[in-house]
Structure 1
Amino acid sequence: MGATFRIQHANFVAYLTSDRRARAPRADRGELDSFLEGLSNPYSLVSSTRGKPNDWCQAVDGVANERRNELSKKEPGLLEPDEVESILAPLREHFSDYHLYCLIVPSPLEREEESFTFFLESALSAKSKGLVLMPEKGVDFVEYLNPFPAMTELADSLVDTPAVLFWSGAVSCVLSLNEAKRFYRNVLVEALEENPRRIENILKNEVKRRNTKRILHLSDFHFGRPDARFNRAWLKAHLRKILPGVDATAITGDLFNDPELGFRHEYQEFRDDLRLMTKKPIIVVPGNHDFRTGGTDYKKLREDASQVVSLGLPNLVVSDDLQAVFFCFDSNEQGDWARGGVSDNQRRRMAIDFEAEANEREEDISKYFKIALVHHHPLKYGAAPAALYERLIAKFARNDEFFIEFENADEFLRWCARRDIPLVLHGHKHVPHVARTSVESQEITVIGCGSTTGVDGRPMCYDIVTFDPVTKRSSVKFYFDPYSDGGKFELQSVAITLKGGSTGLDLEEEPREVSGASGGGWQKETRLNPHTSMRARQTVQTRIKSARLLRARRQSLAKTR
């Protein structure tokens, strides 16, 4: 059995294929309707039972159309899990209880026929014992609300696309397309035919150690405030379980609420507790509240840097274990009120320190993964692209951009691009956020944490960033306790960079401007060159011919009903 779909709909597919006790994800009504519309398209389904009395494709088509009619009765907007479950539940019998599931993730730049040919091969050969899924085309970047375990495995693996995610029960593994072909043909096909119950153990044995690294991202503690003080013990109890599984911790400012000695001591006590929980690096940059009383000032009349200076924060951290360089910026040197900025002098100083560090080391740290830490947000929220996660908690945000903005964000991002920095972590806004932009051909992912202690009645938030030092790809998982009362930290969103390598096809790239990005920037749009290979054109023609034959068959069947 097999189905194609849009990659943005992968979480719906994950729900349909998950354990019956699993809770449905939150979803936008428009996206859910688009998913159902795709399932009712006869060209998106493949089965060895097509045209037979137990035609799986026909059954899915009928249920999807019926559920679209039911969905049309609901108001536009974000649907809660119970609402999504009521729509998708009748489809679960057609997508669940298989011995093997397979998700083929094509690269946006790969030769089209490679992934699709394997999709057809595996979907037909798995018969009724396996379900094979594939997005209609690859994309660079996706985000999921309430992701399921298979999606988090894809985020953690960071295997270059085209890739294949296999899962059975609670076990999953991700392989490159070529590895997956060999694994499926040499191992899984025989197991499906002879003893499908072995699949889960086979996948367990196939899981390999990855070279990925993980960073715990915390921010905006505001110690000194009563709400931060009340939530501190619960936060430490939770982080005690998280810290052993990460390779470093990054804290992006507003360590205490005012530059006062007592408040600084509260932060230092918390930091010392973290140091007792982990031997991994804890890397810190300051925020506007660490310098300015109440976080705001005018012409630096009341600024007090003494408490930050006493912390001895570094401006450059190189980790050979992570194969990473952390550029630690102070964005409080510029701007009135709660605004900030990074001066050209600080950027020059950072470049000098990096070159000096590189000269003193035997390792070539220019090839390390580079991360910029800064307090203020270099992309305005809602810019290129708008995050799904923001829509879930947008009620916590305020329209106060003028007083809190990053004044020279375009210059900062340009410097990051020229320094080959693909990742920026920040705080300040108290609303978790992820966005991507392209500046001078460098793709940059910008991640905002929110308030880890949940000040101002906001959720207690943190995120975990996974990156591969070799491929320079990354993903992020957002967690929050919505009521900040110790109920539970829940995984709320996953964002994954799915950018593959070279294509083997002749491609042309046309740049287009990204609207809304701070300082403009450019994002590349890739299309097939009309002079591409004969093999690729023949494959497309074959697919068109097959689609026409399928349409004729379905029309013939409809007339005989």
Structure 2
Amino acid sequence: MGLRFDLPTSAVVGHLLAPDREPPRLGYGEIEYFLRALLRRHDRFISSSRYFADDLRNRAAECLDRLDTGHDVSGAGSDALTAGTVRRVLEPLADVVRAYDVVVLPIGSRKDRRWLDRFAHEAALAPGHGLLVLIPTLYEPEVNARVLDPDEGVADALKRRDEWPGAIFAVRGQSSFFLPFEAAYRAVADLTTGGDLQPVLRVARDDAERGAARARATRRRLLHLSDLHIGARKPNQLRQYLRSAVARFEPLDRVVVTGDLFDQPFPEYRQQYIDFENQLRELTRAEPVVVPGNHDQRILGNRIKRLGRRREELVDLRWDRGPVHDSEAKIVFLCFDSSRTGLAARGGIGTEQFVDVATRYDTARQVASFDDCLRIAVLHHHPYPYPLDGEVPVIGFGTEGRERRLGGMLRERLLEMEDAERFLEWCAARDVSLVLHGHRHRPRLISDRIPTGDKARPSHSLLTVGCGASLGAGGGPLSFNVIDWNQKTGGWTVDFQVSANDARGFRSAVVQEVTGRGDKGGRVRRAG
């Protein structure tokens, strides 16, 4: 049986196959869209059983009734439903979906429609096997895709978008996996000719793992860490846990640390950081790219005029400024010390540093061509305020609404980057495609278009990625980001990994795929 709906709501499928798991994060509109997709247009159903199609529609209608009669959201200013609401609303569908061993999600663009429809018909009508086919919305090549709480197959599919069309196989009681066209078609063909389900799935999963390894070899991978706060009690306990978690993503081309290496700029913490940096060197042959944060230079991270400033503690540390050119990865990192200016915990770049980084960059490009390189700006402070209007947080639905009630806007004024707009305009002028930062202990992703004032190129596409506290400083979740860049297509994916600070395990909170062909959206909106 098959039907069509939106890819981000594919996380619903994993919950329906295993309702004892934590439900995916879904807003009211998203879950309504998913349920209404089950109700409309009979020609979207591909099933050998008319009874099944009618039963599924009836159950979807019951779910909608539950949604309309009452739902709880996870915080003020958010339409995200609580985990309990998602479970209650989707309960009528869980029984029918659990009757299937495998849910297949063919994915591709409009040019792949013919293959997708043929594949869906053959998979849905496979005799003797419990296969349910869900066809996500077809995506145009220039449209970016973002999925909250993706399972393994969805995450891998987004990271390998250049291999579409293909299919995600969600298996009851097991992790999902992605296969490109030929391998997916072969797996379904084996099932339709009477092959035993589990042996066929084992072969298909092996194909998926080999394909993922081949894809990884053609991409450049960055590990983004931030706000280590070494010297604080909790971060010291969790360093080995983090090191084991990031090892799953080896090999890495580069590690980037966006500041606040220390909890306090005291000499006794320096060796602890050096030991940790030596561990990072085991992950990659290249030196980590490291910029300082406010806690590395100010007592308690704050400065009032000259009080609280201890820049001398940075003297013996290796940190980067200006351009760092990785010729093998074809990446240029433009490194800033955003704690050079600003009072309290605020930051800024300042004219002198803009000129210094630009001059170093222009001098370096006379020796080595940067034309085919990805340009990444690295700093500690966040260039976009928290929150932005309509922003969907990577973790912690509803926290923005709570911050508003508890004086969060005042807190933002004490933490902000003073020349943020100037920095973004500088990045647009210098053809920077990606900005990496830390500071607020929250992972986030902002896709924006920066006006350039140039008629030939009126705006510049810029992706800004924030990392949370990688060692769980302040008792919050641990966080790191894995960024894959496809040199062939110019696109990349960002995988936001988070873990509770009791070390229960890291998971993908969001995977964002950026095509590299340019997003057609406008400027993001500031809050307030």
Task: Please tell me the TM-score bracket, short chain as reference.
Answer: 0.7 to 0.9
Contact 2:15–2:21 (Cα < 8 Å) also in 1: yes
Matched, 1:448 2:444: no
Contact 2:223–2:482 (Cα < 8 Å) also in 1: yes
Which residue among 83, 87, 90 is the counterpart of 1:88?
Answer: 90
Identity of aligned residues (%): 25
| Structure-2 residue corresponding to 1:251 | 257
Seen in structure 2, the aligned counterparts of structure 1 residues 281 and 11 have a Cα distance that, compared at 3 Å, is farther
Matched residue type, 2:465: I
Q: What is the DSSP-based 3-state SS (H/G/I as helix, E as strand, rest coil) of the residue aligned with 1:314?
A: coil
| Structure-2 residue corresponding to 1:380 | 385
What are structure 1's unaligned runs of at least 5 residues? 107-111, 503-508, 519-561
Matched, 1:495 2:511: yes
In structure 2, distance between residues paired with 1:336 and 1:5: 50
Matched residue type, 1:266: Q
Structure 1 segment 339-378 matched on structure 2, within 5 A? 339-361=346-368, 364-378=369-383
| Structure-2 residue corresponding to 1:117 | 114
For structure 1, which segment, 60-69 or 377-386, has the greater mean C-alpha deviation from structure 2 after superposition? 377-386
| Structure-1 residue corresponding to 2:455 | none
Q: What is the DSSP-based 3-state SS (H/G/I as helix, E as strand, rest coil) of the residue aligned with 1:167?
A: strand
In structure 2, distance between residues paired with 1:510 and 1:131: 34
Which residue among 515, 525, 528 is the counterpart of 1:515?
Answer: 525
Seen in structure 2, the aligned counterparts of structure 1 residues 41 and 366 have a Cα distance that, compared at 3 Å, is same
In structure 2, distance between residues paired with 1:376 and 1:258: 17
Structure 1 segment 383-422 matched on structure 2, within 5 A? 383=388, 386-392=391-397, 394=399, 398-399=408-409, 400-422=411-433
What are structure 2's unaligned runs of at least 5 residues? 75-80, 452-458
> How far did residue 312 of structure 1 move?
2.8
Q: What is the DSSP-based 3-state SS (H/G/I as helix, E as strand, rest coil) of the residue aligned with 2:250?
A: helix
Matched, 1:69 2:65: yes
Contact 1:158–1:467 (Cα < 8 Å) also in 2: no
> How far did residue 235 of structure 1 move?
3.7
Q: What is the DSSP-based 3-state SS (H/G/I as helix, E as strand, rest coil) of the residue aligned with 1:24?
A: coil
Structure 1 segment 20-31 matched on structure 2, within 5 A? 23-31=22-30
> How far did residue 439 of structure 1 move?
1.3
| Structure-1 residue corresponding to 2:77 | none
Seen in structure 2, the aligned counterparts of structure 1 residues 511 and 30 have a Cα distance that, compared at 3 Å, is closer
For structure 1, which segment, 459-468 or 386-395, has the greater mean C-alpha deviation from structure 2 after superposition? 386-395
In structure 2, distance between residues paired with 1:184 and 1:510: 32
Q: What is the DSSP-based 3-state SS (H/G/I as helix, E as strand, rest coil) of the residue aligned with 2:125?
A: helix
| Structure-2 residue corresponding to 1:165 | 167
CA RMSD of aligned residues (A): 3.3
Seen in structure 2, the aligned counterparts of structure 1 residues 174 and 501 have a Cα distance that, compared at 3 Å, is farther
Contact 1:122–1:132 (Cα < 8 Å) also in 2: no
Matched, 1:133 2:134: yes
Residues 17-65 of structure 1: per-residue CA shift (max 9 Å, x gap): x56775532433443233212222235732153xx6x344322211100
In structure 2, distance between residues paired with 1:218 and 1:277: 13
In structure 2, distance between residues paired with 1:485 and 1:199: 34
Matched length = 490
In structure 2, distance between residues paired with 1:309 and 1:273: 21
Seen in structure 2, the aligned counterparts of structure 1 residues 457 and 32 have a Cα distance that, compared at 3 Å, is same
| Structure-2 residue corresponding to 1:303 | 309
Which residue among 323, 326, 330 is the counterpart of 2:333?
Answer: 326
Matched residue type, 1:485: D
> How far did residue 273 of structure 1 move?
3.4
Matched, 1:153 2:152: no
Contact 1:172–1:203 (Cα < 8 Å) also in 2: yes
| Structure-2 residue corresponding to 1:545 | none
Which residue among 313, 316, 326 is the counterpart of 2:319?
Answer: 313
In structure 2, distance between residues paired with 1:500 and 1:43: 36
Q: What is the DSSP-based 3-state SS (H/G/I as helix, E as strand, rest coil) of the residue aligned with 1:392?
A: coil
Q: What is the DSSP-based 3-state SS (H/G/I as helix, E as strand, rest coil) of the residue aligned with 2:394?
A: helix
Matched, 1:485 2:502: yes
Q: Which has the higher Rg, Structure 1 or Structure 2?
A: 1
| Structure-1 residue corresponding to 2:482 | 464
| Structure-2 residue corresponding to 1:8 | 8
With structure 1 as the length reference, what TM-score do the two structures score? 0.77
Seen in structure 2, the aligned counterparts of structure 1 residues 34 and 59 have a Cα distance that, compared at 3 Å, is same
In structure 2, distance between residues paired with 1:284 and 1:471: 28
Matched, 1:268 2:279: no
Seen in structure 2, the aligned counterparts of structure 1 residues 424 and 301 have a Cα distance that, compared at 3 Å, is same
Contact 2:229–2:473 (Cα < 8 Å) also in 1: yes
Contact 2:395–2:509 (Cα < 8 Å) also in 1: no
Seen in structure 2, the aligned counterparts of structure 1 residues 384 and 498 have a Cα distance that, compared at 3 Å, is farther
> How far did residue 138 of structure 1 move?
3.1
Seen in structure 2, the aligned counterparts of structure 1 residues 194 and 99 have a Cα distance that, compared at 3 Å, is farther
Q: What is the DSSP-based 3-state SS (H/G/I as helix, E as strand, rest coil) of the residue aligned with 1:47?
A: coil
In structure 2, distance between residues paired with 1:309 and 1:43: 69
In structure 2, distance between residues paired with 1:248 and 1:456: 27
In structure 2, distance between residues paired with 1:313 and 1:21: 46
In structure 2, distance between residues paired with 1:512 and 1:447: 18
Matched residue type, 1:201: V
| Structure-2 residue corresponding to 1:525 | none
Which residue among 105, 109, 118 is the counterpart of 1:102?
Answer: 105
In structure 2, distance between residues paired with 1:171 and 1:442: 36
With structure 2 as the length reference, what TM-score do the two structures score? 0.82
Seen in structure 2, the aligned counterparts of structure 1 residues 271 and 222 have a Cα distance that, compared at 3 Å, is same
